[in-house]
Structure 1
Amino acid sequence: MSPSSILFSPPFVVVDGVINIRTIGGYKIDNSLLVTPGLIFRSGEVSGITEAGKQQLLALGIRRIFDMRSNLEINSYKTASPDIPGVEFVHVPIGKEVTWDAGSFERRVKHYQENELEAFVKYAQITLEIGASALETIFRHFLERPKEPCLFHCTAGKDRTGLVAALILMLLGVDDADITKDYTLTTVGLEPAREKLAARLQNIPVFRDNQQGALNMGSSKEASMTAILAMIRQEYGSAAGYLTACTRLQAKDLDAIRDNLLNRA
């Protein structure tokens, strides 16, 4: 199947002006349970949504959108959340809220150049550490509003978004192979926006001067997610272990979330 065909096939959905948007439901667990489709959506930034896209979004039942971008990202790229009547935007920033330190950012890109896998694992763990409050807010939606479809996103819908999707699927007992497949779909999902995203990066000297590091940083490979899942198990035991250790969610809450998001196949 060609990349363009994939973009118009499940799990991708069409919302005009929104990049890399798809549902993360439909996965089977032990041939008896199914992650309820049509409840959880993931994407890149939604600031470019068109009027037609707004109607498509509403038709999916989405009434709540979690934006994980920092204010620095939103202001730098002038990509504030749009006004969509009937949709609540919840800002749950994960990232720097101060001017980038050019030196530390250069070291980060160089890390991706020299050891791509190690860099992905390192920054995923940092996201888990600094983003616990934001992640708790998203997971509480599944606890408190289980029948209300929601969408969560960052800028490209790749790293922070991919990590949240992985935690959800991991908590529900989805196979690692399906979790990594969900992550790698971002390679196709970003294709229509690749030139636009590349143009943004060209305005940042460190990316212009280290194109290989930038390419590695922008990738979404199976090996990266496989290593991230291994890190979660090593550091926290499981997705549930992370959530109970780093947020106020309790084991009984996670059991309720599983019940809310799983159906008999």
Structure 2
Amino acid sequence: METTEHQQPASSPPPGADRLITVPGVRNLRDAGGFGTADGGRIRLGLLYRSASLCELSPDGAGRLAGLGLRTVVDLRSAEELVHWPNQRHGLDFELVSLPTLPPLEGSSANPETAADVSEQHRQQGDPQDDGLAGMYSYMAETAGPPIVACIRRLTAPGALPALVHCAVGKDRTGVTIAVILSALGVDDADISADFALSNAGLGLLNGPVHYIDEHGVERPSRPVRAELLTMFLRRVHARHGTTAGFLHYHGLRREELARLRDLLVEEA
């Protein structure tokens, strides 16, 4: 993703900014672990990471990324994005799994930043803050269940961890995927929202949008995430399925598979 304009970071880092991991060529990288769960457990550190894509990974960055011991990298981007911005390895040995979060939309791709401009049917009527992303989060609540279930199945496969989940910049598709996983494991909504919002610091979006060139050669704004986007996504999931676990079961995840995820990722606090 080629950036054409950079915003200056805020003078004071937001809470949790120390969780961001510096690796040359990998933006918005952090551990998804460390959060407490409703049953008194804690999400294990060092097993599940989230980030932007590895398309700009440098050889030096690969050396540092090797320290995470990644066995699996789950790429949530569209086929078009993979062609334009392929992940770089520089000798790293991991299984790369492609699981697009969204189906392509007519006249666009499954990149939420690009697709937001053509998703008028999902735009939130009467919402003065709706920049298209609100409609896309509503759309993801309807369509992202199967790929999230597929992602969980890859994470629970023998030898799959540690794993990295990423999309283009690690904020929208990655944001809802990690949010569903953490919620299903009993992490509090406030912690999930704080982790979601940390992408603004990880991407230099604290002062507003940053422009980039998309896979069609069009300049577009990369918009900051807003807590209400994730709240709306989860509210829609809960309204239809009761819980995020119910959402996953509806889309085919078996109870023993969720139990396996819990065994792998949750430890006693």
- For normalisation by structure 1, the TM-score amounts to 0.81
Among residues 245, 249, 261, which one is paired with 2:250 in the alignment? 245
1:3 aligned to 2:13? yes
1:163 aligned to 2:170? no
1:263 aligned to 2:267? yes
Q: CA deviation at 1:240?
A: 0.9
Determine the structure 1 residue equivalent to 2:67.
59
| Counterpart contact for 1:65–1:87, Cα < 8 Å | yes
User: % of aligned pairs identical?
Assistant: 26
Determine the structure 2 residue equivalent to 1:45.
53
* Stretch of structure 1 that moved more, 222-231 or 164-173: 222-231
Letter paired with 2:98: H
| Counterpart contact for 1:21–1:42, Cα < 8 Å | yes
1:224 aligned to 2:229? yes
Determine the structure 2 residue equivalent to 1:93.
100
1:187 aligned to 2:187? no
**Structure 2 residue ranges without an equivalent (≥5):** 1-10, 110-114
Q: CA deviation at 1:114?
A: 6.1
Among residues 106, 129, 152, which one is paired with 2:165 in the alignment? 152
Distance 1:6 1:203, change over 3 A: farther
Aligned length in residues: 250
- 1:27-56, Cα deviation, whole Å (9 max, x unpaired): 112483111011111111110001111121
Describe the SS at the equivalent of 1:223.
helix
| Counterpart contact for 1:117–1:227, Cα < 8 Å | no
**Structure 1 residue ranges without an equivalent (≥5):** 208-213
Distance 1:262 1:5, change over 3 A: closer
Determine the structure 1 residue equivalent to 2:140.
127
Determine the structure 2 residue equivalent to 1:141.
154
Determine the structure 2 residue equivalent to 1:108.
119
CA RMSD of aligned residues (A): 3.4
Richer in helix (by share):
1
Determine the structure 1 residue equivalent to 2:4.
none
| Counterpart contact for 2:71–2:159, Cα < 8 Å | no
Determine the structure 1 residue equivalent to 2:7.
none
Letter paired with 2:31: T
Q: CA deviation at 1:238?
A: 1.1
| Counterpart contact for 1:142–1:260, Cα < 8 Å | no
Determine the structure 2 residue equivalent to 1:19.
27
Distance 1:193 1:88 in 2: 33
| Counterpart contact for 2:75–2:98, Cα < 8 Å | yes
| Counterpart contact for 1:67–1:89, Cα < 8 Å | yes
| Counterpart contact for 2:209–2:224, Cα < 8 Å | no
Letter paired with 2:12: S
Distance 1:3 1:105 in 2: 29
Letter paired with 1:255: A
Q: CA deviation at 1:97?
A: 4.4
